[in-house]
Amino acid sequence: MQDNVRIRALSKRFGDFLLDDVSFDVPAGSVVGFIGENGAGKSTTIKSILGLVNTDGGRIEVFGKDARLLTEEDKGDIGAVLGEHCLPQDLTLREVNAVMRRIFRGWQEGEFFSFVKRFALPENKKLRSFSGGMRQKAALSAALSHGARLLLLDEPTAGLDPVARDEILDVLYDFMQDECRSVLLSSHILSDLEKLCDHIVFIHGGKIVFAEEKDVLTERYALFRGSAEEVGAFGRGAVAAYMRGDFGMSALVYRDKVPAGTPLDRAGIEDIMLYFVRGERV
Protein backbone atom coordinates (compact mmCIF):
# COMPACT_ATOMS: atom_id res chain seq x y z
CA MET A 1 0.00 0.00 0.00
CA GLN A 2 1.33 3.47 -0.91
CA ASP A 3 2.05 5.87 1.92
CA ASN A 4 0.48 9.31 1.64
CA VAL A 5 2.90 10.54 4.30
CA ARG A 6 6.28 9.07 5.12
CA ILE A 7 8.34 10.62 7.90
CA ARG A 8 11.90 9.52 8.61
CA ALA A 9 14.19 10.69 11.42
CA LEU A 10 12.46 14.05 11.73
CA SER A 11 14.06 16.38 14.25
CA LYS A 12 13.29 19.89 15.38
CA ARG A 13 14.51 21.81 18.41
CA PHE A 14 12.39 24.50 20.10
CA GLY A 15 14.37 25.83 23.07
CA ASP A 16 14.42 22.96 25.55
CA PHE A 17 12.07 20.78 23.54
CA LEU A 18 13.45 18.35 21.01
CA LEU A 19 11.43 16.47 18.46
CA ASP A 20 13.80 13.59 18.04
CA ASP A 21 14.12 10.94 15.34
CA VAL A 22 10.40 10.84 14.56
CA SER A 23 9.51 8.24 11.96
CA PHE A 24 6.12 6.87 10.92
CA ASP A 25 3.88 6.48 7.90
CA VAL A 26 0.34 7.41 7.02
CA PRO A 27 -0.70 4.76 4.49
CA ALA A 28 -3.32 5.47 1.83
CA GLY A 29 -6.72 4.21 2.89
CA SER A 30 -6.05 4.52 6.60
CA VAL A 31 -6.78 6.76 9.54
CA VAL A 32 -3.78 7.26 11.78
CA GLY A 33 -4.39 8.44 15.32
CA PHE A 34 -1.60 10.57 16.70
CA ILE A 35 -1.60 10.49 20.48
CA GLY A 36 0.53 11.94 23.22
CA GLU A 37 0.42 14.39 26.10
CA ASN A 38 0.28 18.16 25.66
CA GLY A 39 3.65 19.34 24.42
CA ALA A 40 4.73 15.86 23.30
CA GLY A 41 5.35 17.06 19.75
CA LYS A 42 2.11 16.23 17.89
CA SER A 43 1.42 19.73 16.60
CA THR A 44 5.07 20.30 15.67
CA THR A 45 5.06 17.08 13.66
CA ILE A 46 1.86 18.05 11.83
CA LYS A 47 3.23 21.54 11.17
CA SER A 48 6.43 19.98 9.85
CA ILE A 49 4.44 17.94 7.34
CA LEU A 50 2.73 21.13 6.19
CA GLY A 51 6.01 23.05 5.98
CA LEU A 52 5.01 25.51 8.71
CA VAL A 53 8.19 24.96 10.68
CA ASN A 54 11.76 24.71 9.45
CA THR A 55 12.91 21.28 10.52
CA ASP A 56 16.45 20.58 11.71
CA GLY A 57 16.79 17.15 10.18
CA GLY A 58 15.07 14.15 8.66
CA ARG A 59 12.87 13.73 5.63
CA ILE A 60 9.15 14.07 5.07
CA GLU A 61 7.46 12.79 1.95
CA VAL A 62 3.88 13.59 1.05
CA PHE A 63 2.34 11.67 -1.85
CA GLY A 64 5.85 10.33 -2.51
CA LYS A 65 7.32 13.82 -2.91
CA ASP A 66 9.68 15.73 -0.63
CA ALA A 67 7.36 17.89 1.51
CA ARG A 68 9.58 20.94 0.93
CA LEU A 69 8.98 20.66 -2.82
CA LEU A 70 5.19 20.47 -2.67
CA THR A 71 3.58 22.88 -5.11
CA GLU A 72 0.45 24.90 -4.51
CA GLU A 73 -1.46 22.24 -6.43
CA ASP A 74 0.00 19.46 -4.25
CA LYS A 75 -0.94 21.40 -1.11
CA GLY A 76 -4.48 21.63 -2.45
CA ASP A 77 -4.60 17.85 -1.99
CA ILE A 78 -4.05 18.33 1.73
CA GLY A 79 -6.83 19.51 4.00
CA ALA A 80 -5.73 20.84 7.35
CA VAL A 81 -7.49 21.79 10.54
CA LEU A 82 -5.01 23.35 12.94
CA GLY A 83 -7.07 24.09 16.00
CA GLU A 84 -10.22 26.06 16.52
CA HIS A 85 -8.91 29.37 15.19
CA CYS A 86 -7.67 28.96 11.68
CA LEU A 87 -10.30 30.75 9.61
CA PRO A 88 -10.74 34.54 9.71
CA GLN A 89 -13.04 35.16 12.67
CA ASP A 90 -14.40 38.44 11.32
CA LEU A 91 -15.72 36.88 8.13
CA THR A 92 -18.99 35.08 7.52
CA LEU A 93 -18.99 31.65 5.89
CA ARG A 94 -20.19 33.25 2.64
CA GLU A 95 -17.14 35.52 2.77
CA VAL A 96 -14.88 32.60 3.70
CA ASN A 97 -16.19 30.85 0.57
CA ALA A 98 -15.37 33.92 -1.55
CA VAL A 99 -11.81 33.98 -0.15
CA MET A 100 -11.21 30.22 -0.46
CA ARG A 101 -12.47 30.22 -4.07
CA ARG A 102 -9.53 32.50 -4.83
CA ILE A 103 -7.00 30.53 -2.79
CA PHE A 104 -7.66 26.88 -3.71
CA ARG A 105 -7.69 25.97 -7.38
CA GLY A 106 -9.90 22.98 -6.67
CA TRP A 107 -12.34 24.79 -4.38
CA GLN A 108 -15.77 23.15 -4.48
CA GLU A 109 -18.32 25.74 -3.50
CA GLY A 110 -21.25 23.32 -3.62
CA GLU A 111 -19.40 20.86 -1.39
CA PHE A 112 -18.57 23.61 1.09
CA PHE A 113 -22.15 24.78 1.43
CA SER A 114 -23.39 21.19 1.67
CA PHE A 115 -21.11 20.72 4.71
CA VAL A 116 -22.27 24.06 6.09
CA LYS A 117 -25.85 22.84 5.75
CA ARG A 118 -25.05 19.41 7.16
CA PHE A 119 -23.45 20.99 10.23
CA ALA A 120 -26.30 23.54 10.46
CA LEU A 121 -23.88 26.46 10.45
CA PRO A 122 -25.20 29.99 9.82
CA GLU A 123 -23.87 31.39 6.53
CA ASN A 124 -24.23 35.08 7.34
CA LYS A 125 -22.88 35.32 10.86
CA LYS A 126 -19.28 36.15 11.62
CA LEU A 127 -17.25 33.19 12.78
CA ARG A 128 -16.34 34.95 16.01
CA SER A 129 -19.97 34.59 17.09
CA PHE A 130 -19.73 30.79 16.61
CA SER A 131 -19.20 28.36 19.46
CA GLY A 132 -15.96 26.38 19.58
CA GLY A 133 -17.70 23.37 18.07
CA MET A 134 -19.18 25.42 15.23
CA ARG A 135 -15.75 26.86 14.44
CA GLN A 136 -14.24 23.39 14.31
CA LYS A 137 -17.02 22.28 11.98
CA ALA A 138 -16.48 25.36 9.79
CA ALA A 139 -12.75 24.64 9.62
CA LEU A 140 -13.44 21.00 8.75
CA SER A 141 -15.94 22.09 6.07
CA ALA A 142 -13.23 24.21 4.46
CA ALA A 143 -10.64 21.42 4.73
CA LEU A 144 -13.01 18.98 3.00
CA SER A 145 -14.03 21.30 0.18
CA HIS A 146 -11.00 21.45 -2.07
CA GLY A 147 -10.62 17.84 -3.13
CA ALA A 148 -8.11 16.85 -0.45
CA ARG A 149 -6.74 13.30 -0.44
CA LEU A 150 -5.03 13.75 2.90
CA LEU A 151 -6.47 15.33 6.01
CA LEU A 152 -4.18 16.56 8.78
CA LEU A 153 -6.30 17.32 11.79
CA ASP A 154 -4.81 18.69 14.97
CA GLU A 155 -7.27 18.18 17.83
CA PRO A 156 -10.38 18.59 15.65
CA THR A 157 -12.72 17.34 18.38
CA ALA A 158 -11.13 19.19 21.31
CA GLY A 159 -13.69 20.83 23.59
CA LEU A 160 -16.67 19.44 21.69
CA ASP A 161 -19.67 17.72 23.19
CA PRO A 162 -20.20 14.04 22.30
CA VAL A 163 -22.89 14.83 19.70
CA ALA A 164 -20.68 17.32 17.86
CA ARG A 165 -17.74 14.89 18.05
CA ASP A 166 -19.89 12.16 16.60
CA GLU A 167 -20.96 14.39 13.72
CA ILE A 168 -17.32 15.09 12.91
CA LEU A 169 -16.40 11.41 13.13
CA ASP A 170 -19.28 10.61 10.74
CA VAL A 171 -17.89 13.08 8.22
CA LEU A 172 -14.47 11.48 8.53
CA TYR A 173 -16.00 8.02 7.99
CA ASP A 174 -17.56 9.32 4.78
CA PHE A 175 -14.27 10.89 3.69
CA MET A 176 -12.52 7.55 4.12
CA GLN A 177 -14.84 5.74 1.71
CA ASP A 178 -12.26 6.46 -0.99
CA GLU A 179 -9.26 4.21 -0.41
CA CYS A 180 -6.75 6.66 -1.82
CA ARG A 181 -7.42 9.00 1.06
CA SER A 182 -5.86 9.18 4.51
CA VAL A 183 -6.33 11.03 7.74
CA LEU A 184 -3.72 11.88 10.35
CA LEU A 185 -5.65 12.86 13.43
CA SER A 186 -4.25 14.06 16.72
CA SER A 187 -6.59 13.94 19.68
CA HIS A 188 -6.71 13.63 23.42
CA ILE A 189 -10.06 11.91 23.18
CA LEU A 190 -8.83 8.40 22.75
CA SER A 191 -12.30 6.89 22.55
CA ASP A 192 -12.76 8.80 19.28
CA LEU A 193 -9.50 7.40 17.97
CA GLU A 194 -10.45 3.86 18.98
CA LYS A 195 -13.62 4.17 16.92
CA LEU A 196 -12.00 5.59 13.83
CA CYS A 197 -8.32 4.74 13.55
CA ASP A 198 -6.53 1.90 11.82
CA HIS A 199 -3.10 2.87 13.14
CA ILE A 200 -1.93 4.54 16.31
CA VAL A 201 1.24 6.60 16.63
CA PHE A 202 2.21 7.43 20.20
CA ILE A 203 4.67 10.24 20.83
CA HIS A 204 6.10 11.00 24.25
CA GLY A 205 8.65 13.70 25.07
CA GLY A 206 9.34 14.31 21.39
CA LYS A 207 10.04 10.64 20.61
CA ILE A 208 7.86 8.02 19.02
CA VAL A 209 7.06 5.27 21.52
CA PHE A 210 5.20 3.12 19.02
CA ALA A 211 3.58 3.32 15.62
CA GLU A 212 1.37 0.29 15.14
CA GLU A 213 -1.88 -0.97 13.71
CA LYS A 214 -4.57 -0.48 16.33
CA ASP A 215 -5.66 -4.12 16.23
CA VAL A 216 -2.07 -5.28 16.66
CA LEU A 217 -1.76 -3.09 19.76
CA THR A 218 -4.93 -4.37 21.36
CA GLU A 219 -3.94 -7.95 20.52
CA ARG A 220 -0.41 -7.48 21.80
CA TYR A 221 -1.14 -5.86 25.14
CA ALA A 222 -3.45 -6.75 28.01
CA LEU A 223 -3.92 -5.63 31.60
CA PHE A 224 -3.13 -7.85 34.52
CA ARG A 225 -4.15 -6.97 38.06
CA GLY A 226 -2.63 -8.89 40.92
CA SER A 227 0.12 -8.93 43.49
CA ALA A 228 3.66 -7.73 42.96
CA GLU A 229 4.80 -11.36 43.25
CA GLU A 230 2.46 -12.47 40.48
CA VAL A 231 3.66 -9.69 38.19
CA GLY A 232 7.28 -10.50 39.06
CA ALA A 233 6.68 -14.14 38.22
CA PHE A 234 5.87 -13.26 34.58
CA GLY A 235 9.49 -12.25 34.06
CA ARG A 236 10.93 -9.07 32.58
CA GLY A 237 10.06 -9.91 28.99
CA ALA A 238 6.34 -10.22 29.67
CA VAL A 239 5.72 -6.87 31.37
CA ALA A 240 5.81 -3.65 29.38
CA ALA A 241 5.09 -1.37 32.36
CA TYR A 242 3.41 -1.54 35.72
CA MET A 243 1.80 0.66 38.35
CA ARG A 244 1.59 0.15 42.07
CA GLY A 245 -1.73 0.67 43.83
CA ASP A 246 -3.14 0.41 47.33
CA PHE A 247 -4.38 -3.10 46.64
CA GLY A 248 -1.51 -4.56 44.69
CA MET A 249 -0.15 -4.01 41.27
CA SER A 250 -1.49 -3.61 37.75
CA ALA A 251 0.64 -4.26 34.74
CA LEU A 252 0.52 -3.81 31.00
CA VAL A 253 1.66 -7.20 29.79
CA TYR A 254 2.40 -8.86 26.45
CA ARG A 255 -0.46 -11.32 25.91
CA ASP A 256 1.73 -13.91 24.20
CA LYS A 257 4.32 -13.88 26.96
CA VAL A 258 2.16 -14.56 30.00
CA PRO A 259 1.13 -18.14 30.84
CA ALA A 260 -2.02 -19.38 29.11
CA GLY A 261 -5.10 -19.07 31.29
CA THR A 262 -3.88 -15.98 33.14
CA PRO A 263 -6.91 -13.74 33.77
CA LEU A 264 -6.33 -10.62 31.65
CA ASP A 265 -8.38 -7.54 30.88
CA ARG A 266 -8.51 -5.83 27.52
CA ALA A 267 -6.07 -2.92 27.27
CA GLY A 268 -7.55 0.07 25.43
CA ILE A 269 -5.44 2.70 23.72
CA GLU A 270 -5.87 4.96 26.74
CA ASP A 271 -4.55 2.22 29.06
CA ILE A 272 -1.58 1.56 26.83
CA MET A 273 -0.74 5.27 26.66
CA LEU A 274 -1.11 5.73 30.42
CA TYR A 275 1.14 2.79 31.25
CA PHE A 276 3.81 3.96 28.85
CA VAL A 277 3.72 7.51 30.25
CA ARG A 278 3.08 6.98 33.95
CA GLY A 279 3.97 3.36 34.55
CA GLU A 280 7.29 2.06 35.77
CA ARG A 281 9.30 0.13 33.23
CA VAL A 282 10.72 -3.28 34.06
Partner 1 sequence: MKGMLLKDILNIRGQIAYYAVIIAVFFAVAAVTGNLYFYAGISCFCGVAVPLSAVAYDEKDNWERFALAAGVTRGRLALSRYLLGLASFFPVWGLSFLLFVLPSFRTAENLLAVLTFGGMGLLVMSVVLPLVFKMGTEKARAVYIVVILAVMLCSAGLASFFGLAEGAVPVVAAVLLAAGIVSVPISFAVSCSVYRKKDF
In the complex, which residues of this chain contact partner 1 (CB under 8 A)?
14, 47, 50-54, 70-76, 78, 80, 82-83, 85-91, 95, 98-104, 152
Provide the sign of the torsion angle of the four alpha carbons 156, 157, 158, 159, taken in this order.
positive
Would you call 53 helix, strand, or coil by DSSP?
A: coil
CA dist list (Å): 136 to 48, 142, 188, 222, 275: 21, 10, 15, 35, 31
Shortest Å, Cβ 127 to partner 1 = 9
Distance between CA atoms of residues 213 and 274, nearest Å: 18
Q: Which residues neighbour 197 within 8 Å (Cβ) at sequence distance 6 or greater?
A: 31, 32, 33, 185, 214
Shortest Å, Cβ 6 to partner 1 = 19
- For residue 30, give the nearest of 237, 189, 193, 165 by alpha carbon: 193
Nearest residue (CB) to partner 1, 50 versus 243: 50
Nearest residue (CB) to partner 1, 83 versus 205: 83
Nearest residue (CB) to partner 1, 85 versus 281: 85
Shortest Å, Cβ 166 to partner 1 = 26
Q: Where are the alpha helices (DSSP H) in 72-184?
A: 72-76, 93-103, 109-118, 132-143, 162-175
- For residue 19, give the nearest of 55, 72, 49, 59 by alpha carbon: 55
- Backbone phi, psi, residue 212, to 5°: -140, 165
Would you call 209 helix, strand, or coil by DSSP?
A: strand
Nearest residue (CB) to partner 1, 25 versus 154: 154
109-118 vs 93-103: helix axis angle to the nearest 10? 150
Nearest residue (CB) to partner 1, 87 versus 241: 87
Nearest residue (CB) to partner 1, 72 versus 229: 72
Shortest Å, Cβ 116 to partner 1 = 18
Shortest Å, Cβ 54 to partner 1 = 6
Nearest residue (CB) to partner 1, 98 versus 233: 98
Strand duo 221-226 + 248-254: pairing: antiparallel
Shortest Å, Cβ 29 to partner 1 = 23
Shortest Å, Cβ 151 to partner 1 = 11
